[in-house]
Copies of this chain bind each other. A is one copy, B any other.
Amino acid sequence: MQIDSINIAQTASAATIIYEALKKAIIEGQLADGAPLRQDEIAKMFNTSRIPVREAITMLEQQGLVVTQRYKGAVVAGISPDEAAEIWDFRALVEGHVIEAAVPRMSDETLELARSYLTAFSEGATPMDWGDQNRKFHTILYRDSGLFYHLGVIEKTLDRVDRYLRAQLALSNGLARANREHEAILAACERRDATRAAELTRLHILGAKTNLLDNLRKR
C-alpha cells in the first residue's frame, strides 16, 4: 500500500526553521544593517544547539543577507547607494523580461488576484502592508511566465532589497506614484499588451530607483 499524502508533510529541520525566521527578521528590518547574529543567543531563542544555527547563518550568507568573518561572526549585510542602483537596474531588466513573457499566458484568476493586491496596497496603513502587497502584486504578475529560474532569481533579489523597497515606498511621493503606476501596469496586462506592460514595469522600477537614491544619498 502507498499513501503519499502521509509523507508529503515533511517536518522541516531546525536549521530550516531558524533560517526562515532569521530571513524574515532581516527582510522586515527587525534586524538592522550591521546587527550581529550571535550563535549562542539565537540557539537559546530556538532551544537548540548552535549547530543548526550555524547552518541557518550559512544559508543567509549564501543569499547575501549576512556577511560573516571567521571567528568574528555574522552581521546583517547592508547596501550601498551604488549597489542599490545596480540592483534596481537588474530588477528592471529581469522583471521587464519576465512580465513580457507572462502576459500572453496570464489567466483571469491571476488578473483578479493582482487587482485585489493592488486594492490592498492602496488601502494599506503601514510600511509593512505596503511592502507586502507591493511584492505580492508584482510577483503574481510574473508567475504565469512559468520561468522558474528567473522567478527564483527575482525572489532572491527582492529578499536582498526588501527593506530598502519598503523604505522607498514610505517616502513622501512613493505611495501615490506606485499606485498610479501599478494601475497602469495592470491595465496593460488586462488588455494583453505585453510590450507595454514590460515597458511600464521597467519605468516603474527605474523611477523607484531614482526616488530611493535621492533618499539614500541624502543621509
A residues with a Cβ closer than 8 A to B are 10-13, 15, 51, 54-55, 58-59, 62-63, 70, 83, 86-87, 89-90, 93-94, 97, 147-150, 153
Contacts and interface: CB of A to CB of B under 8 A. Distances in A.
A86 B149 contact: yes
A93 B51 CA distance: 40
Main SS at interface, chain A: helix
A153 B91 CA distance: 12
B55 A148 contact: no
Given A10-B70, A54-B55, 7 more contacts: A83-B149, A86-B149, A87-B149, A89-B147, A90-B153, A93-B94, A153-B153
A123 B47 CA distance: 59
A40 to B, nearest CB: 17
A15 to B, nearest CB: 8
Given A58-B55, A58-B59, A94-B94, A150 B86 contact: yes
A152 to B, nearest CB: 8
20 contacts: A10-B70, A11-B70, A12-B70, A15-B58, A54-B55, A55-B55, A55-B58, A58-B58, A58-B59, A62-B62, A83-B148, A83-B149, A86-B147, A87-B149, A89-B147, A90-B94, A90-B147, A90-B150, A93-B94, A93-B97
